[in-house]
Amino acid sequence: MDELALISDARKGDLDSFNRLVLAYQDLLYHQAYRLMGESDAAEDATQNAFISAYKNLKSFRGGSFKAWLLRIVTNVCYDELRRKKRRPTTPLEPLNKEDERIESPQWLADPAESPEEFTERSELSRALQHCLDKLPMDFRTVVVLVDIHGLDYREASEAIGKPLGTVKSRLARGRLRMRDCLGGFGELLPPAYRLVRES
């Protein structure tokens, strides 16, 4: 895929070219939105809005990393949505069973390829990770997700958040430290390889 050619065609109004870029980056943007928002529905909305915004503002892309540019857009969309939610808090609709109790692991999250034990472990770990991410301040969370979950280097992360490298370094270190403290509370859940030294 010639990314630059697709971007150039998309800037001329070729929607098919832009949609090929969408297909290439939709997993990344959705994952980023999910880790920042913590909800799949909200992440879907944020991802769709981010792509619409990207298409409308494609002319403002002035080269560099297209991935970082897209991540910046979806991050800003998530920021806006989280700020809006803070102003107008809502009660999320949780899946309930027949006794009106919340279902911890909804059926549609299950992966039929894995065993029940694996699914339980994965979902528990995933929940622990999301719990700790949710407790991070938004600025720290963004950098941790960009660098440690998506594997961006410092320069790309700097482009994605629009801040200097020093800010990325600082926020990442403080974010990791808080994540370490938070994950220490889930010591039994973590696989032995990831258990903290001070816990063991």
Partner 1 sequence: MTTRISPKEWEALSAYLDGQLSANDRIRLERLLTERPEMRVALKDLRRTRDFLRSQPSLRAPRNFTLSPQLAGIRIKERRSSFAFPVLSAVSALASILLVLVFVGDMLITGAGPSQNFVAQAPVEEYLAVEETVPESFSPVEGEFQEIPPTEITLQEVQVPSVAAEGEELESMVEEEVDAVSKVIEAVDESRTGGAIQTPILEPVSPDFEAVPGGKAVHEPGLYDEDTGWLEPSIDQGISSTAWLIEKLPLLMQRSTMRILEVILIIIAFSAGLAALYILRIGKRL
Single out the residue of 4, 5, 52, 96 in contact with partner 1 (rule: CB under 8 A): 52
Q: Name which of 36, 13, 16, 31 is nearest 67 in CA terms.
A: 31
Decide if residue 53 touches partner 1 (CB under 8 A): no
Count Cα atoms within 13 angstroms, Cβ side, for 149: 25
Return the number of the residue (93 or 197) whose C-beta is nearest partner 1: 197
The nearer residue to partner 1, 30 or 104, going by C-beta atoms, is 30
**How does DSSP classify residue 147?**
I
Conformation bin of residue 151: beta by default, left when phi > 0, alpha when psi is -120 to 50: left
Q: Name the residue among 8, 27, 28 with its Cα closest to residue 18.
A: 8
Nearer to partner 1 (CB atom), residue 16 or residue 99: 16
Q: Is the distance from CB of 25 to CB of 3 less than 8 angstroms?
A: no
DSSP 96: B
Beta-bridge mates of residue 96:
102
Q: Which stretch binds partner 1 (CB under 8 A): 61-69, 85-93, 98-106, 188-196?
A: 188-196
Q: What is the contact mask toward partner 1 in residues 84 to 123, using x (rule: CB under 8 A)?
A: ----------------------------------------
- Contact between 4 and partner 1 per CB under 8 A: no
Instruction: Enumerate the β-bridge partners of residue 102.
Output: 96
Contacts with partner 1 by CB under 8 A lie at 15, 18-19, 22-23, 26-31, 34, 40, 44, 47-48, 51-52, 55-56, 125-126, 129, 144, 147-149, 151, 153-154, 169-170, 172-174, 176-177, 179-180, 183, 190, 193-198
